[in-house]
Structure 1
Amino acid sequence: MAQAEANYDESKVPEFKLPDPLVTFNGKKIKNVKQWEKKRRPELLHFFTENFYGEVPGELKIDDVHLIEESENALNGKAHRKQVVLSFKKDNHTLDYTMLIYLPKNVEKAPLFLAYDFLGNHTITKDPEIVISEAWVADKPSLGIINNQLTEQSRGVRCDRWPVEKIVEAGYGLAVIYYGEVDPDKNDMTDGIHPFFYVDDQEQPANNEWGAIAAWSWGLGRALDYLETDADVDASKVIVFGHSRLGKTALWAGATDQRFAAVISNNSGCGGAALSKRRFGETIARINRSFPHWFCNNFKNYSNNEQTLPVDQHELIALIAPRPVYVASAEEDRWADPKGEFLSALYATPVFELYGKKGISQQEMPPVNQPLLNTVSYHIRTGEHNVKDYDWEQYIRWADMFVK
C-alpha cells in the first residue's frame, strides 16, 4: 500500500535548505517588484514549466460556444443556471467540454468560483437537468460507474463537496467542468487535448511538454476566455479552486494565467502546495510512479532526487503574487503533508510582501480550525482528505475580504 511506503515521522525528514524566492539562480538578490517581475518570476516560471508541468506546445482558441440548457429558476428560484459547451477543432481533431454555471439572480455581474469536478457535473447537485457526461471515467462500481461510463445512479453523489446554494446565497457564481472531458485521467496521451498539438507521427508529448495537470490548467484558461464574454459574470473576479490533483491544477493555472483573481489549493499535496524537499507523505518518486501522466517527463529526473531541485513549491505559490492565494490542509491527510503545505505558504510570503500584501507571519502552524486569513491564507481543519462545508465557509469569508 502507498501509505506503508511513506514517511510520516518528522524526525526522518531529511535536512534541506529551501531556495530563497528572492534570490535568482545566479545569486542576485531581488529587492523590489520590478526586479521580481523582470528577472526572478520569469526564471522560476520557466523552470517549473520545463521541469514540472510542461510547456503547452501551441495555442488553440475556442471554436464555438453552445448554450445547451438554461433556467432562471434554479435552486428554487435563487439562481440562474446555464450549461455551456466549449468546442475546439484543429485538423481532424474535435473536443467539447461542458461548463455548468450557477449565478445568483440578485447580483448583476457576479464574482465566481471556477473549478473542475472529479465525476461529472451531474454529481455536484441532485438537479435532474444537469447533463451526464459521456466522457471516459475511472470505474467506481459503488457509485454505479462501470465500463468507464457515468450513469444516473451517480447523480448528486458529490453534493457534500459543493454547497452550491451557500455559494450562490453569498453572492458568488460557481462554474464547474468535468476534468475528464478536457483530458482523461489515465496514462494515455492519445486522447483528450494532447493530440491536437502532435506533429508528424508524434504519439507522446516531448519531455518538456505538458502532462495532464498542465492540460487541465489550459482548460481552465479557456473557460476563463468564455467567462470574459459572459455578461452575467465579473471575469475580473474569477477565483480558481481545486482539490487534490485539481488543487495542483488550480495552482498551476493561477501561476501561468494572471487573469485569475485568486487561487484556492485544497489538500493539493505533492506537486501542489507541499514542499518536495521534506519527502513526507507522497514523494516525487511515488507520484511519478503512480501517475506518470500528470507531470512532464522531465519531472522524473527528480524522483528520489529532491535534494538537487533548485526550486520548491513555495516558489510556485510565489508566482501567484500579488493575487490572493489560500492553501488548506486536513489534519488526517498526512499523505498530502499539511506541515509542508503550511511551510510553502509561509516561505512564499516575502514575495507578497514586496507588493505590500500580508501573508503568513507566524512560524508555527495554527491550531486546527483556526484559519489565518490574509492575502496568503492557510488553515488546517479536522478530518480527512476531502472538501468540507468548513472549507467553503472559510473560502467565501476570505473571498469577501480579498476578492469581492
Structure 2
Amino acid sequence: MRKLGLTFLMMCLSLTAVFAQDYKNRINENESKVPQFTLPDVLTCNNGKKVKTIKDWETIRRLELLEIFSSLEYGRTPTEKIKVSYDLLSEDPNALNGKATRKQVLFTFTNGRKKIEAILLLYLPNKVNGKAPVFIGYNFLGNQSTTTEKPIFASPSMHLSEDPSSEVWIRASQKRRWPFEMIIDRGYAVATMFYGDIYPDLNGLRDYSVISLFSDYDKRSKNHDEWNAIGAWAWGSSRIADYIIDNESRIDGNRIALLGHSRQGKAALWAGAQDTRFKVVISNCSGCGGAALSKRVFGENVARITTTFPHWFCPAFNQYAGNEASMPFDQHELLALIAPRHLYVASAEEDMWADQKGEYLGAYYTKDVYKLYGMHGLDSPIPPAIEQPIHNDVGYHIRRGIHDVTNFDWTQYLNYCDKYMK
C-alpha cells in the first residue's frame, strides 16, 4: 500500500510538471488571442461595499489589497528589524569631472550569528543649492558595471552567481543604463546597489539572501505566503531609503524616487506599495508580476515566470499558472497602492514579452483611486503613440527599441520628477 501511494504521488508530480511545462510554452503575442476577462474593481471592498472616501480607501480597501498581494503573490514582508551598520569605504568629492561627490558605503546586515554585506554606490551633485532629490535603483551586473570610474568596488555577492571569467565583470558593461552625469546635471543624486547583494538571483541561493537573517527563516520556508526574492529586493530598497534619510544630509529624504527595470520594476512597485517614503515610483518594462495585467495572458505568463523563476514569488502564486482567470486580483490594484504618490510606467515597442498594452492598462485602471485624491490619472484605455509621453499624476510612455533602460527613458523620468518632486 505504501509503495502504491508513493507511485501515485510520483505520477501526480510528473503530471503537474508536464502541465506546467505545457502552460509555460503557451506564449501568446497576438492581441487577437487575448482572452475575455473581467478585472476586479479596485474600489470594491471584500464585503462588496464601494469605497467613496479617502478614509475608506486608506483604512479599509488599501489594507485589504496589501493583504492580497502579501498572501497570494509576493509573500509577507516581516516586521522584525534586522540590525544594519554602515561603513564608508571611499569618498571622492571630485567624481564625474568635479560634478559630483561619490561615496561607496558598505551595508552589513546581521542577526548576531550571520551577516550579509552589500555596497551602495552614491553620487551627490556638487552644484545644488540646498538638499537634492534622489533616485534609488538596483543594478544587475554589479556597481562596477555602471561607470567607467575605476575605483569602484565589486559587489560582495557577485561570485555566487557569476563565474570569474564571465564578461559581466567588465567595468562599465551597463553604463548606458546609468547616465550619472545627466542625472547629476539635472540636480539629482543617484544611489544604486547590486540586487544580488540582497538576494542572489538564482534558485537555491536563498540561504545567501537577507531572508536567511530573520528569526523565523526555517518556519517561513514551509509557508504558502513565504516571501522570496521580489519581497527581499523590495525590503532592500527600503533599507537604502533608511540610510539616505538618516545619514545623508545633502539629500532631501522627502524627495525619493524609486526606479526599477524588468524584475526590479516588479520589486519597485511592491516596495512603493508598502513604503510611502517613495514619492515617485517608476516601473520600467516590468511585465508579468509587475505593471502588466496578468489576466491578459500576453507575453510572459504566470506559468512561465513561476517555473523559470520559482524563487521570485511566494508559493501561493503558483496556483494561477495557466489559471489567470481565477485570480481574485490583478496588477492594477498593486499600482493603485502607490496613490496618492506619483506613479510612472514605461514600456518598449519591441518588448512583447512584457506586454506593453497590459502595462499601460495596469496604470490606466488606477485612475479611480487617484481621482479620490483629486489627482489626474491616464485619460484613455488606448495607449499613446510611440515616444509621446504622458506626464499626468500617473505617467506613461512607450519608446522605440527593446527591453532596456535608455537615455530617452531617463529624460522622461527626470522631466516627470522635475514636475512633481523638484
Whether the TM-score (by the shorter chain) exceeds 0.5 is yes
Partner of 1:307: 325
Conserved 8 A contact 1:60-1:88: no
Q: Residue 319 of structure 1 corresponds to which residue in structure 2?
A: 337
Partner of residue 12, structure 2: none
Match for residue 196 of structure 1 among 197, 208, 213: 213
Tell me if the contact between 2:100 and 2:123 (Cα under 8 Å) persists in the aligned partners. yes
CA distance in 1, matches of 2:220, 2:50: 42
Aligned partner letter, 2:132: A
Change in 2 beyond 3 A, CA 1:88/1:282: same
Indicate which of 53, 62, 73 corresponds to 2:94. Answer: 73
CA distance in 2, matches of 1:166, 1:200: 42
Query: What secondary structure sits across from 2:418 in the alignment?
Result: helix
Higher Cα Rg, which structure = 2
Distance change >3 Å, CA 283–CA 3, structure 1 → 2: closer
State the alpha-carbon separation in 1 of the partners of residues 253 and 265 from structure 2.
Answer: 21
Q: Which SS does the other structure have where 1:67 is aligned?
A: strand
Q: Which letter does structure 2 place at the counterpart of 1:159?
A: K
Deviations 1:350-390 (A, max 9, x none): 10111011110022110000001111011000100000100
Shifted more, 344-353 versus 266-275: the winner is 344-353
Cα displacement (A) at 1:137: 5.5
- How many equivalent residue pairs? 398
CA shift digits 1:26-73 (9 cap, x unpaired) = 211111111100111000011001110001234224431101100110
* Residue pair 2:161, 2:200 contacting (<8 A) in 1 also: no
Sort the Cα spacing of 1:136 and 1:75 in 2 relative to 1 into closer, same or farther, 3 A: closer
Partner of 1:11: 32
Which amino acid in structure 1 is aligned with residue 317 of structure 2?
Answer: F
Aligned to 2:136: 114
* Equivalent of residue 219 in structure 1, options 224, 231, 236: 236
Residue 127 of structure 1 is aligned with which of 133, 144, 149? 149
Normalised to the residue count of structure 2, the TM-score between the two structures is 0.91
1:84 alignment partner in structure 2: 105
The answer to whether the Cα contact below 8 Å between 2:132 and 2:252 also exists between their aligned partners in 1 is: yes
User: Which secondary structure does the structure 1 equivalent of 2:191 belong to?
Assistant: strand
Aligned to 1:338: 356
1:200 & 1:118 partners in 2: Cα distance?
A: 26
Deviation at 1:200, TM superposition (A): 8.2
Tell me how far 1:204 sits from its aligned partner: 2.6
Question: For the structure 1 residues 324 and 112, does the alpha-carbon distance in structure 2 shift closer, same or farther, using more than 3 Å as the test?
Answer: same
1:100-131 alpha-carbon deviations (Å, 9 max, x no partner) = 00011112311000000000011010100111
The aligned amino acid for 1:72 is: P
For residues 409 and 61 of structure 2, the distance between their equivalents in structure 1, rounded to whole angstroms, comes to 33
Could you say if the C-alpha distance between residues 134 and 214 of structure 1 is closer, same or farther in structure 2, counting changes exceeding 3 Å? same
Which structure 2 residues correspond to residues 1-400 of structure 1 after superposition, within 5 A?
A: 5-107=26-128, 108-136=130-158, 144-145=165-166, 151=169, 154-188=170-204, 189-199=206-216, 202=219, 204=221, 206-229=223-246, 230-400=248-418
Q: Is the 8 A contact 2:198 2:209 kept in 1?
A: yes
**CA distance 1:210–1:4, change in 2 (3 Å):** closer
TM-score normalised to the size of structure 1? 0.95
Contact 2:118-2:156 within 8 A present in 1 as well:
no
For residue 200 of structure 2, what is the amino acid of its counterpart?
Answer: P
Determine if contact 2:83/2:111 at 8 Å carries over to the other structure: no
Check whether the contact 2:108–2:117 (CA below 8 A) recurs between aligned residues: yes
Percent of matched pairs sharing the same residue: 47
Say if 2:263 and 2:286, in contact at 8 Å, map to a contact too.
yes
Stretch of structure 1 that moved more, 240-249 or 188-197: 188-197
Task: Quote the offset at 1:307 in angstroms.
Answer: 1.0
More helix by share: 2
Runs of at least 5 residues in structure 1 that lack an aligned partner in the other structure? none
Counterpart amino acid of 2:198? V
Question: 2:158 corresponds to which letter in structure 1?
Answer: W
Give me the whole-angstrom Cα distance separating, in 1, the residues matched to 2:110 and 2:162: 31
**Secondary structure class of the residue paired with 1:216:** helix
- Unaligned residue ranges in structure 2 (runs of 5+): 1-20
What CA distance in whole angstroms lies between the structure 1 residues aligned with 2:238 and 2:375? 25
Q: In the alignment, residue 50 of structure 2 is paired with which amino acid?
A: K
* Superposed displacement of residue 192, structure 1: 1.1
Tell me, in whole angstroms, the C-alpha distance in 2 between the residues paired with 1:46 and 1:176. Answer: 29
- Structure 1's 267 and 137: CA in aligned 2 closer, same or farther, altered over 3 A? farther
Per the TM alignment, residue 195 of structure 1 is displaced from its structure 2 partner at its CA by: 1.4
**Aligned pair in 2 of structure 1 residues 57, 203: CA closer, same or farther (>3 Å)?**
closer
In the superposition, relative to structure 1, how do residues 221 and 6 fare at CA in structure 2: closer, same or farther (>3 Å)? Answer: same
TM-superposed CA distance for 1:25, in Å, is: 2.1
